[in-house]
């Protein structure tokens, strides 16, 4: 490897670290703003930070998504969480289940189909994984609730909550990915080679995202008793 190539790779590595730090900061802010959204039974809070993490993962891969997920959850634990360490673990598992699944599939197929399949799969994996972890962990910090009671809540409470949470982040990712990447590319923070293959994100993606976002917003309002 020539000295020029090594220097170029070093600059790329630094740029990636800077961009991922930006994604981490934005994801934290979005997490704070998400606390204004309606919640289910107190600790089940809808959170849109997975959208930011997923966009970062689409750009830099599933490992980057995992790192950003864990860092944001740790910062949240020390600054804005009511559920301490257990809440941080559950948040990290939830975000990684959604974002790492979506970004892994998209990494293999950087097209609109790959994005939709990845995000839909992430929603399914998130829902399934959190049903298991809610069953295992919820009795440890939800005072006065037995594991049998939690088992009775899995289908009517935890399943629709996690499905809606994943759906909201899927829709928001479809809507925001193209504008965010375009802005980063204009600022020369993301190289052109990081853009998806021809046939990737376009108007159809935006329409799908808008439809899904409207659908899951209504579902969220129904689940939280707002309508």
Domain extent listing, the chain: 3-223
| The two three-digit tokens of residue 58, written as one number | 């689409």
Rounded to an integer, the average pLDDT of 98-118 is: 94
Residue 85 has pLDDT above 80, yes or no: yes
pLDDT computed for residue 142 by the predictor:
78
Residue 11 has pLDDT above 90, yes or no: no
Please give the sequence-ordered ranges of beta strands (E in DSSP) within the chain, or none if there are none.
39-40, 44-45
Identify the pLDDT of residue 86.
87
Structure tokens at 29: 């802010």
pLDDT of residue 29: 97
**How far from 107 is each of 62, 102, 111, 198, 224, CA to CA, in Å?**
8, 9, 9, 14, 35
pLDDT band (50, 70, 90) for residue 10: very low
Mean of the pLDDT values across residues 173-186? 91
User: What CATH number belongs to 3-223?
Assistant: 1.10.1760.20
Task: Read off the pLDDT of each residue in 143-151 and give the average, rounded to a whole number.
Answer: 88
């Amino acid at each position: 490897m020539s000295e020029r190539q090594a220097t170029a790779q070093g600059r790329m590595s630094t740029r990636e670290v800077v961009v991922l730090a930006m994604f981490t900061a934005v994801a934290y802010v979005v997490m704070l703003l998400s606390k204004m959204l309606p919640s289910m039974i107190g600790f089940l809070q809808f959170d849109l930070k997975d959208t930011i993490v997923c966009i970062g993962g689409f750009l830099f891969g599933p490992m980057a998504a995992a790192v950003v997920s864990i860092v944001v959850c740790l910062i949240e634990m020390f600054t804005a969480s009511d559920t301490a360490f257990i809440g941080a673990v559950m948040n990290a598992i939830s975000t990684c289940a959604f974002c790492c699944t979506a970004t892994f599939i998209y990494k293999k197929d950087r097209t609109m189909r790959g994005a939709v399949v990845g995000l839909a799969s992430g929603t399914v994996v998130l829902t399934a994984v959190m049903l298991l972890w809610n069953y295992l962990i919820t009795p440890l910090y939800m005072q006065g609730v037995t594991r049998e009671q939690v088992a009775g809540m899995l289908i009517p409470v935890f399943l629709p909550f996690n499905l809606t949470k994943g759906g909201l982040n899927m829709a928001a990712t479809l809507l925001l990915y193209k504008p965010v990447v375009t802005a980063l590319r204009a600022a020369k923070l993301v190289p052109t080679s990081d853009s998806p293959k021809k046939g990737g994100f376009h108007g159809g993606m935006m329409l799908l995202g808008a439809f899904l976002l409207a659908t899951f917003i209504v579902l969220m309002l129904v689940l939280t008793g707002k309508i």
